């Protein structure tokens, strides 16, 4: 009830290797910087080169870990994870990291993304007699990796990667090393940086690495494997990157923190350009532009700048009520989004308002927000959205719902406007969105020539970059995707 109507977070992964010292504390603060990517569970696994120690649980990083919980996590290598469930339900057995015993010693695995052929891979493991304890594709990856051929963990990882389809960023705790990689399509972000005092770290976002004080931060290439051992780091290209890259546009639209840099682009600057293009495509006469906090704030600034309409705050957001285990009373339940958003009436009363938001998924929150603005005295409410209509599910690690849950799959734009009670509604087009984001600027290794703009827009267009055959958790329907 408290969640806004936005795509649900993916996951955040982290890996740390120090010459010596306490990796768990660094992992704890790194996960704090990745908390926005997953708020259902968190975990840290630490190794001293001999034994792996693990603590994980459901809840926020601050509730899962305490000084007493961190104290036993002794070692100079660590991997960590913040989770929102995509494949596999939200229960304790699916919380990461996974740690499995292998003939080569313990192996810890964290994963961000969604392996689209996990069902087939799971069936193959079961046929070979493997015992699976969870419904997560991360466990499938762990068991496949444990059985892969190779003299070292990085060789086993390289040999196993060609079997995986879809989105995966991995951080592994393997013997005396932390090993990380990214799928050859480049769906999800993963970067590496160097500690000034020695050692290295990988993380889903550059902001987490900057929080830890890392320098020389760079994006890990699609298909590249990073091997961190003590103060040393090496890398190699394990799998040739795909010529048609598939970076998720929603990292720029919503998921990443605004201080992140991905694909050589400032996320904050991209969001501001999205607002600028939105204003050019869907102008309207109004008195004030307001954002729906927080991710839409740069876009609203951009919209105001191009339109010449005054920017101001219209909502105050309670950032601490989004994840609660306390059931509200019936009276509070009727308050709906008012528990999470309150209006600044002095900025809205008697005004024609442009309300800028990043997305409409199921259409459950936009209507109540429009109603709050009207109740604050606005004479008109015009809604502007910085992504195109989401008419197709995501199969690559983002929970956007199934076809029967996506309002843009059921209704056209005029019908959605009527449904949410807006005077007008404008979604940015795919072309304008890509003008704001721009084509991928990262050259691919090995002289690979990239095709197209380098981004995945399947949730808008239905053109999936890889074939997908995955049961949707909500309605068990199956979908055979097409090559984009």
Supply the CATH number for residue 23's domain.
3.60.20.10
Of 403, 174, 161, 377, whose CA–CA distance to 288 is shortest?
Answer: 377
Residue 284 lies in a domain: yes
Confidence of residue 135 (pLDDT cuts 50, 70, 90): low
User: Would you say 441 and 375 are in contact if contact means Cβ atoms under 8 Å apart?
Assistant: no
336 and 404 co-located in one domain:
yes
Confidence of residue 23 (pLDDT cuts 50, 70, 90): very high
pLDDT at residue number 402: 86
217 and 308 co-located in one domain:
no
285 and 430 co-located in one domain:
yes
Distance (Å, rounded) from C-alpha 265 to C-alpha 441? 8
Range of the domain at 151: 11-241
Mean pLDDT value of segment 57-64: 93
- Give the best-scoring range by mean pLDDT among 1-10, 87-96, 186-195: 186-195
pLDDT at residue number 34: 96
Residue 2 lies in a domain: no
User: Pairing mode, if any, of strands 105-115 and 98-102?
Assistant: antiparallel
Number of domains in the chain: 2
- Which residues are registered as beta bridge partners of 425? 383
Contacts of 256 (CB under 8 A, 6+ apart): 189, 205, 207, 262, 267
Mean pLDDT value of segment 333-345: 79
Residue 253 lies in a domain: no
Confidence of residue 478 (pLDDT cuts 50, 70, 90): very low
103 and 154 co-located in one domain:
yes
- The CA distances from residue 312 to 188, 260, 298, 353, in Å, are 33, 24, 12, 10
- The CA distances from residue 57 to 97, 149, 169, 254, 261, in Å, are 10, 32, 21, 26, 30
Distance (Å, rounded) from C-alpha 400 to C-alpha 462? 13
Q: Which of 225, 241, 257 is the last residue of a domain?
A: 241
Residue 189 lies in a domain: yes
Return the minimum-mean-pLDDT range out of 173-182, 328-337, 412-421.
328-337
The CATH number given to whatever domain includes residue 280 is: 3.40.50.2020
* CA trace torsion 135, 141, 147, 148 (10° rounding): 160
18 and 151 co-located in one domain:
yes
DSSP letter (8 states) at residue 405 = G
164 and 53 co-located in one domain:
yes
Catalytic residue of the set 11, 214, 248, 387: 11
57 and 203 co-located in one domain:
yes
234 and 309 co-located in one domain:
no
Residue 361 lies in a domain: yes
Q: Is 11 labeled as catalytic in the residue annotation?
A: yes
Return the minimum-mean-pLDDT range out of 66-70, 87-91, 201-205, 221-225.
87-91
Helix (H, G, I), strand (E, B) or coil at 348: coil
156 and 188 co-located in one domain:
yes
Residue 482 lies in a domain: no
Residue 464 lies in a domain: no
Give me 347's structure tokens.
Answer: 């900025």
Return the minimum-mean-pLDDT range out of 110-119, 234-243, 409-418.
110-119
271 and 234 co-located in one domain:
no
Residue 113 lies in a domain: yes
Q: Which of 434, 449, 469 is the last residue of a domain?
A: 434
The DSSP line for 99-160 is: EEEETTEEEEEEEEEEETTHHHHHHHHHHTT----SS-HHHHHHHHHHT---SSHHHHHHHH
Confidence of residue 39 (pLDDT cuts 50, 70, 90): confident
172 and 298 co-located in one domain:
no
| Per-residue pLDDT tens over the stretch 446-473 | 888 889 999 999 999 999 999 875 443 3
- Give the best-scoring range by mean pLDDT among 50-54, 82-86, 400-404: 50-54
233 and 328 co-located in one domain:
no
pLDDT higher than threshold 60 for residue 434: yes
| Per-residue pLDDT tens over the stretch 207-239 | 999 999 999 999 999 999 999 999 999 999 999
């Amino acid at each position: 009830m408290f969640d806004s109507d936005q795509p649900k977070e993916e996951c955040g992964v982290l890996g740390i290797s120090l010459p010596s010292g306490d990796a768990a504390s660094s992992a704890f603060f790194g996960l704090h910087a990745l908390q926005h990517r997953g708020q259902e569970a968190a975990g840290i696994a630490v190794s001293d080169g001999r034994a792996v120690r693990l603590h994980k649980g459901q809840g926020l990083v601050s509730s899962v870990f305490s000084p007493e919980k961190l104290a036993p996590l002794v070692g100079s290598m660590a991997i960590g994870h913040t989770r929102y469930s995509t494949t596999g339900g939200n229960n304790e057995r699916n919380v990461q990291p996974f740690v499995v015993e292998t003939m080569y010693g313990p192996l810890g695995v964290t994963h961000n993304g969604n392996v689209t052929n996990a069902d087939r891979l799971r069936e193959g493991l079961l046929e070979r007699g493997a015992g699976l304890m969870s419904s997560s594709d991360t466990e499938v990856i762990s068991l496949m990796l444990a059985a892969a051929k190779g003299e070292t963990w990085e060789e086993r990882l390289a040999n196993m990667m060609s079997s995986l389809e879809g989105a995966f960023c991995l951080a592994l705790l393997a013997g005396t090393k932390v090993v990380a990689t990214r799928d050859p399509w480049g769906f999800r972000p993963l970067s590496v940086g160097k500690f000034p005092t020695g050692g290295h770290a990988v993380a889903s976002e550059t902001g987490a690495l900057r929080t830890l004080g890392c320098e020389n931060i760079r994006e890990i290439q699609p298909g590249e494997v990073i091997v961190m051992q003590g103060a040393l780091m090496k890398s190699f290209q394990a799998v040739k990157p795909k010529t048609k890259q598939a970076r998720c546009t929603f990292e720029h639209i919503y998921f990443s923190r605004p201080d992140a840099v991905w694909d050589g682009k400032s996320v904050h600057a991209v969001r501001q350009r999205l607002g600028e293009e939105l204003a050019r495509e869907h102008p309207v006469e109004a008195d004030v532009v307001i954002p729906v906090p927080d991710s839409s704030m740069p876009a609203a600034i951009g919209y105001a700048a191009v339109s010449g309409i005054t920017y101001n705050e219209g909502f105050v957001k309670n950032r601490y009520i989004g994840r609660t285990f306390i059931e509200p009373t019936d009276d509070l339940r009727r308050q709906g989004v008012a528990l999470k958003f309150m209006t600044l009436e002095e900025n809205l009363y008697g005004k024609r308002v442009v309300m800028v938001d990043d997305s409409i998924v199921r259409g459950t929150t936009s209507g109540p927000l429009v109603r709050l603005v009207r109740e604050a005295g606005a004479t008109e409410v015009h809604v502007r959205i910085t992504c195109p209509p989401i008419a197709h599910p995501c199969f690559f690690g983002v929970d956007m719902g199934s076809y029967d849950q996506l309002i843009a799959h059921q209704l056209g734009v005029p019908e959605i406007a009527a449904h949410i009670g807006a005077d007008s509604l404008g979604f940015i087009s795919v072309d304008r969105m890509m003008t704001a984001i721009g084509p991928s600027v990262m050259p691919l290794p090995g002289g690979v020539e990239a095709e197209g703009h380098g981004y995945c827009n399947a949730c808008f267009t239905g053109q999936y970059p890889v074939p997908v055959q995955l049961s949707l958790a909500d309605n068990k329907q199956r979908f055979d995707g097409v090559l984009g």
